[in-house]
């Protein structure tokens, strides 16, 4: 499986979970989750995908130049539509994963931003890791709302592979 499809699969996992919850669960905030909701984590993930997609043509990705507080954070239907749109963009992408890309990110609240050279493949690896990390937080938030996301939701592919080798 290539990295574009791996990211599409992760987006589909998010969509599958969202299709099983309602608006209240999507926007519920619990003090134990530091004021975040399923919607806020999902919006954050989608912002990173948009940064990646937007940076492909210029070979320059700025993960800090995000549109925060987008409607998909507070509206479940808008979030589902956003996932579909990003999924289609990734699925239709023809990309040399070894091609160089410059990546900009703020490494601290003080000082300047940092740019580094990377590749599109490495950035898709980052998106897998970043998405799984936030899905783990979404899984916790889901369980706090009484919704079981599934044993594999928010679990790193390497962990799932390891688990499959354990004797049961």
Question: Given CA atoms 140, 65, 73, 149 in this order, what sign does their dihedral have?
Answer: negative
Contact (Cβ atoms closer than 8 angstroms) between residue 139 and residue 149:
yes
Tokens found for residue 139 = 């899984």
- Of residues 102 and 107, more confidence is placed in 102
132-150: average pLDDT:
94
Quote the pLDDT of residue 89: 97
Q: Which range, of 10-24, 68-82, 130-144, averages the lowest pLDDT?
A: 68-82
Q: For each of the domains in the chain, give its residue range(s) and CATH number, in order of start.
A: 3-165 (1.20.120.450)
For residue 47, give the nearest of 78, 72, 19 by alpha carbon: 72
């Amino acid at each position: 499986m290539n990295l574009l499809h791996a990211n599409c699969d992760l987006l589909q996992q998010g969509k599958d979970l969202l299709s099983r919850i309602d608006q209240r669960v999507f926007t519920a905030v619990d003090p134990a989750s530091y004021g975040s909701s399923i919607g806020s984590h999902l919006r954050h993930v989608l912002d990173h995908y948009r940064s990646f997609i937007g940076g492909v043509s210029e070979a320059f990705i700025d993960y800090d130049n995000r549109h925060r507080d987008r409607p998909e954070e507070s509206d479940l239907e808008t979030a589902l539509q956003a996932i579909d749109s990003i999924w289609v963009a990734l699925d239709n992408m023809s990309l040399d994963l070894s091609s160089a890309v410059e990546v900009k990110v703020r490494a601290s609240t003080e000082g300047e931003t940092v740019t580094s050279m990377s590749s599109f493949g490495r950035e898709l690896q980052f998106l897998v890791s970043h998405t799984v990390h936030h899905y783990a937080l979404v899984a916790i938030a889901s369980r706090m709302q009484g919704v079981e996301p599934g044993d594999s939701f928010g679990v790193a592919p390497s962990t799932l592979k390891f688990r499959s080798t354990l004797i049961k």
